[in-house]
Structure formats: structure tokens, C-alpha cells
Structure 1
Amino acid sequence: MTQPILEHDSVAFQAARNAENQLWADFNLKPKARWFKLPPDDLRVRVLEFGHGDPVLIIPGNTGDPYPFAPLLPQLAGYHLFVLARPGGGLSDGFDHEQVDVHQFAVDLIGQIMDKLDLKSAPIIAHSMGAHWATWFALAHPERVDQLILLGNPGRMLMTKTPGMLKMAMMPGLGQWFMKRQIPKSAKRAWGPLHRMGTDPVAVSKLPQSFAACVYAFDHLPNYAVSTLSLLRSMNSEKNHNGLGEDQLRHLSVPTTLIWGTNDALARPELGQEIAAVVQHGELVTINGAGHEPWIDDPEKVGTIIRLKLKDSRLRAELSRR
């Protein structure tokens, strides 16, 4: 297996890193970057570390870019946040998901990263496809997950049909056309993906220009297309059986909170209610008018919900030690 390497001395890498650094500065964030090489091919994976306090692991959606969390992270002050840049995004090496068993890779990846970070267990906050991967890990290793906080439609759970906007990516000959439509042609057009995911235009207008610069720079990294298309095909192809159905979700024993925007373009909150009803300790919280990244629409409200849930997790941990 040969995965696409991201050259750190390339112009594209430097442009993405510079855009991201400016975004962190705009939100008064000072991350520490940690790099790990994972077997069997020394895949380079980046983790960004923020703050101090009880540890929390954050797993981004899409192909794994951490930068969209910039509006949310200041709301989680007082915690030691570890944001995993999944292979394929976030300046980690590129990744062709069709070369691996994605389910097993996801479980192994999260476990290896937690080991390297010396996290015996931790709450996990995850978005979209990252939420799907986090749920796989919680099913395999519930003793390592204090709780799940899943943002937006969590990948492919209880979904019997592929969302229309994703079907194009899976059709022969249409994948590249799909990617051309998704990748902005300039930073001025980089707000398009947020609008398509249901984010309120008023919320988008409040974001700094450095956010748009990140969208443009990270979407133009050389491995973005292969990472994205292979992920969508692997996760949404019926022959791969990577969806999470009712029989699997009934075994999910860790406390699980779904935070779902009412305008999420990938699925309605009613699906979230079904998921919350199936898992053993599930709860759905909706964010009115928010899209697929609900913390961008209302970072204060989403942050408040998460802080309350993290306090519950801390209390359970303290009680278990008595």
C-alpha cells in the first residue's frame, strides 16, 4: 500500500499552514502541533493541542481539517483539547481510503493516537464523518470513551439512501466534476461550501476572512481530491457495508449526545432523534437555523451544551473512583 505523501516544503503546504496560523491568531488561539508517524508506512499524522485541563479528543469531519473548529475552541477554555487531523486533511499526509478497510483503519487510528497522547480514556467530540469514525471506536473500545458528543449529521448512521449531493461523487466519470464544483476557484468564493451545508449567511458573514483563506488553501492541497472522493466512495458505497445500522448502534453503551442543526443539508434532525432513541444513552439537542457545522452558526450555544456534557463526564469519572 502506497499512500499519497504531502510534501512539507511545497508551496501548497506553506500556503495552507500560513492561512491556518492567521485563523488561529484571529481567534486568539495558540496551538502546539505534534506529529506522529503511524505504521506500517510511516504515515504522518498531525495533532493540534490547545489549552490545559481535563483532556478531550476532537475528531473533525470531511477529510479531517481542524480549522473549522476555530469558532468553537475558545468556548472550551479550561480543557486540554487534542484535535486530530485525520489522514487526508489538516496537513496530515494524503490518504486513499479505498486502499484500506476503512472501519478497521478508523478504529486503529484513534487507538494509536490516544496511545501516543497517553490518553487511557477521554470524551470525544466529533463532527460528521469523524463522528462516524468515533462511534466505530466507541463500539470497539467503550472503556476508552468517556462520552461521545457528535456534531452535525454523524456520517452514515441509519441512512438507507445516499444524500443526493454525494451520489455524484460515486458515479463513474462524475467524481472529478463533483470535486471541481466543490473546490472554490478563489478565496472570495470559499464561503460556498458553508452555504451549501446549510450555514446561516449571517453567521458566515461574521467569520474572519482567514476562515475563507483556509477553505481555499486546504481544498487546494494536492491530495484533497483523492482523499475526499475515496472517503465518500468508501463510506457511501453499499458494497462496503460501512454504514452503521440499528443492530450495531444498539450496542453503543457510552453516553452519546447529538448536536444537530435544523438546516443540516445532509439530513434532518428527525434522523438524529431516531439515532438517539436507538443507542443506550442517547440525547438529541437541536440548534435552530444552524447547518451541518452548528457551532459556526451559534458557537456560544454549542459551547455551553458541550461544557455541560463535559462536566457530567468529569462527575461520572469522580464517582467511579470513589
Structure 2
Amino acid sequence: MTTSATSAQQARARYLEAERRLWLDHAGREPETRWVELPTLRTRVRLLELGEGPTLLFLHGGPTSASCWAPLVGRLPGFRCVLIERPGCGLSEPARGRLGVREHGAALLAEVLAALPEPPVAVVASSFGSYLSLAHELAHPGVVARYLHFGCPAPSPGSRVPSAFVPSMIPGVNSLLRRLGTWTADSSLRNFTVMGHDREAMSRPALASFLRWYTALMTLTPTRANDQGLFARIRPRDALRPAQLSSADVPMHFFWGRGDTFGGERSARRLTSLIAGSELLMVDGGHLPWLDDPPAAREFVEQVLDGR
């Protein structure tokens, strides 16, 4: 075995250990892993599955991976939670099919949904995952029963990219920044404060294993480089137009942090005003609001799906 192959195996093992500790801390057990082939994107993705009951399908933003949902999923014992690890994120393989970013999202969700033994009662998404799920709904209306969005869908009408993240989205600059900078535990903490999360709150013991896992994700997997490459491919044609969003005819529920730096309450009300029948709950928190108040996030899920 070559030195590089050995190094890659060691990095994978260290990442999986950080992921294992995260899940044990927040759910008391590890999720099962399943792989799903995506013919259109010419790749396969990793699904994490935990729990019993009606299926919830989770789609994360970026750069992150499926396990970012652990603090919420660990509080949802009444559901079978299936978490998509998007292509190129975590341990999922990068997409080799070069679709437009919007088409990429529609194909990703469509092919994962087709691989499930039963349809989910809802798709739960965040940030770029919410954008991709909205792209799927516009391409395949009515296939998903309802959507639960956590935080500002990025990009979407009224959203913005925090200035600190702009250089990482510029082709060439992003790779230079990765070569020049070393990612540390403090880098992870700083990343979440840029997204609108309180630094002291993110430093609390309950999130210690989360931050260790996130640092492992950034340093031991190619997630950061892969997602920055995908984000750099976003073009004006990928935008979700207000007129298109107004045509959506499926329940959409938003759990949105007031401190979300991708778009605060004004952005939330603008977006939800475009989607007929959508519901909005504003809470104190940042871009990934289930990290700020996991009990409130759990209650939101349970109330939306009560009597589903």
C-alpha cells in the first residue's frame, strides 16, 4: 500500500471516530450507513439512518455534512431520520456529472427519494440544502409532502453571503486560502460566529463533540474544497425567481434565526411572502438555529408534523 493510501485510510478512521463520538454524545448510538447510487450525477452518496417511525429526509448545507444534524436528530426518537451526505461532503464521493447547480440539486433529491423504501413525511433542509430542495420542488412539484427549512436558504431571494465568506467562493482564491491557512478548532468556532451564532453559546460543553467533529470534517475530508468548487459554479440562471417560488403548492415551514447573517427577519418575511401558505417561526439564533436551541427545534418539528 502506498504512503498516500495509508494516510487517506488513517484520515478516514480519525474522521469516523470524531463522527462516532458526536452521535454517541447526542443520540446515544451511531446511525446505520447505506450507500445510494445517483446515475444522473454519476456518483454515490452516503446515507445515515437512525430511529424508527415515519421517515424524515434531511439535506444539509455547506460546507458541512450529514452529521451536522446530530444535535436535532438525537431528540427525535419518534421518527426514522435519513440524512443525505451530499456529493463531495463527508465521505460521499464527488459528483462526476457536470449539471448546473440547480439541476444538480433536483437530481440529487429525486434519485435519493426514488431509492427510499417509503416516501418521507417531510424533507428537512438547511441553507444550501434548502436551496437544493426548493430547486427540486420547482422541477418535481408535489413529489414531497412538505418541507421544513432551518435558517435562510442560501442562495434565495433576499439572501446574502457574509463578507467573510466571499473570498472562499472565488475560483482560484479559495484554493489559495486553503493552502495558506491551517484550519483549527478556533477556525471552526469563528466560522459559526460569522454565521450569526454566539461564540460563548457555541463553546458550551453540549457542543464540544460537535465542534471537534466539524474540525475533523474540515481537516480530514475534502468537504471544504469540494463544496467551495460547487458554490463557485453558481450562475444567475440558478437563481430561484420570485415568480417561480410563488407557484410552489406544498406546505413549507421555516424555523429561522434572527441573527442569521445570510438573511435575518426581513429576509425571512420577504421569502415566505413569496410562497403561498408558508409558515415562519423566528427564534433567537444563527444560520443553523437547531444548534442554538435544540429543544425548540424538536418542538417545531413535532408540532408541524402532528396529525400529518
- TM norm structure 2: 0.89
Which residue of structure 2 lines up, in the alignment, with residue 92 of structure 1?
Answer: 92
Alignment of 1:213-252 (within 5 A): 213-235=212-234, 237-238=235-236, 241-252=237-248
Contact 1:60 1:85 in 2 (8 A): yes
Q: Distance in 2 between matches of 1:48 and 1:106?
A: 19
Which residue of structure 2 lines up, in the alignment, with residue 78 of structure 1?
Answer: 78
Structure 1 stretches lacking a partner, 5+ long: 1-5, 315-322
Once the 2 structures are TM-superposed, how far is the Cα of residue 180 of structure 1 from its aligned partner?
6.1
Q: Deviations over 1:2-50 (max 9, x none)?
A: xxxx999622222111100011111113311111232267523100111
Q: Distance in 2 between matches of 1:160 and 1:204?
A: 23
Which residue of structure 2 lines up, in the alignment, with residue 129 of structure 1?
Answer: 128
Contact 1:55 1:79 in 2 (8 A): yes
| C-alpha spacing 1:139/1:81, structure 2 compared with 1 (3 Å) | same
Q: Distance in 1 between matches of 2:217 and 2:95?
A: 14
Aligned residue pairs: how many?
A: 302
| C-alpha spacing 1:75/1:104, structure 2 compared with 1 (3 Å) | same
Quick check: 6-15 or 79-88, which moved more? 6-15
Which residue of structure 1 lines up, in the alignment, with residue 61 of structure 2?
Answer: 61
Q: Distance in 2 between matches of 1:67 and 1:168?
A: 26
Which residue of structure 2 lines up, in the alignment, with residue 320 of structure 1?
Answer: none
Which residue of structure 1 lines up, in the alignment, with residue 189 of structure 2?
Answer: 191
Q: Deviations over 1:140-185 (max 9, x none)?
A: 223321111111111111147654334323435422345468x763
Alignment of 1:216-295 (within 5 A): 216-235=215-234, 237-238=235-236, 241-288=237-284, 290-295=285-290
Q: Distance in 1 between matches of 2:43 and 2:7?
A: 13
**One-letter identity of the residue aligned with 2:24:** A
Contact 2:55 2:119 in 1 (8 A): no
Which residue of structure 1 lines up, in the alignment, with residue 168 of structure 2?
Answer: 169
Once the 2 structures are TM-superposed, how far is the Cα of residue 220 of structure 1 from its aligned partner?
1.8
Q: Deviations over 1:205-244 (max 9, x none)?
A: 2234322221111112452343122222123x43xx2121
Contact 1:63 1:86 in 2 (8 A): no
Equivalent of 2:203 in 199, 202, 205: 205
* Aligned sequence identity (%): 26
SS in 2 for 1:61: coil
Which residue of structure 1 lines up, in the alignment, with residue 150 of structure 2?
Answer: 151
Contact 1:126 1:150 in 2 (8 A): yes
| C-alpha spacing 1:163/1:96, structure 2 compared with 1 (3 Å) | farther
Q: Distance in 2 between matches of 1:77 and 1:131?
A: 23
| C-alpha spacing 1:137/1:18, structure 2 compared with 1 (3 Å) | same
Once the 2 structures are TM-superposed, how far is the Cα of residue 53 of structure 1 from its aligned partner?
0.6
Superposition RMSD on alpha carbons, in Å? 2.5
Q: Distance in 2 between matches of 1:209 and 1:48?
A: 21
Contact 1:94 1:223 in 2 (8 A): no
Contact 2:171 2:229 in 1 (8 A): no
Structure 2 stretches lacking a partner, 5+ long: none
